Amino acid sequence: MTQYKKNAEIVAQLDQEQYRVTQQNGTEAPGSGKLLDQWQPGIYVDIVSGEPLFASSSKFESGCGWPSFSKPIMNEYVLEIQDQSHGMHRTEVRSNYADSHLGHVFTDGPKEHGGLRYCINSASLRFVSLDQMQDQGYADYIETIEQ
């Protein structure tokens, strides 16, 4: 099994927005993320470590302005942490191995898919299309994609 970890070389190559979001707990402006309107089959991985986080089959249009998913590919790659910042009570979502800030999870997602909405910043993700998954080392996750 692939070992995922925070890679200082990759962190140094992040653009300003990716760094602000993943390393400084930032949030991109609603509607601005490059993956918001990405609907091809594939998976979304942590931009720093490559951890497989979300499958396109769990992505849905929530109208919130950020990519939304009903569940992670594997719970072990996504940490949920209580967040009391900005005078709100929320649950922050971070990648397990890279400790990247991803976004937040809410309980207003599609009931038929468990009721969760993982509201995730595009700047924290890299999309790997289904036809590239095997070549990029994600063959074990192809089955998570509904075709």
| Rounded-to-5 percentages of helix, strand, coil across the chain | 25, 25, 45
Strand partners, 104: 92, 119
- Angstrom distance (rounded) from CA 138 to CA 140: 5
Residue 74 CB coordination number (10 Å) = 13
Supply the Cα-derived Rg of the chain in whole angstroms.
Answer: 14
Instruction: Measure CA 12 to chain center.
Output: 20
Cβ partners under 8 Å of residue 24, min gap 6? 101
Annotated catalytic, 64?
Answer: no
Catalytic residue among 45, 102, 119, 120: 119
What amino acid positions are annotated as catalytic residues?
119
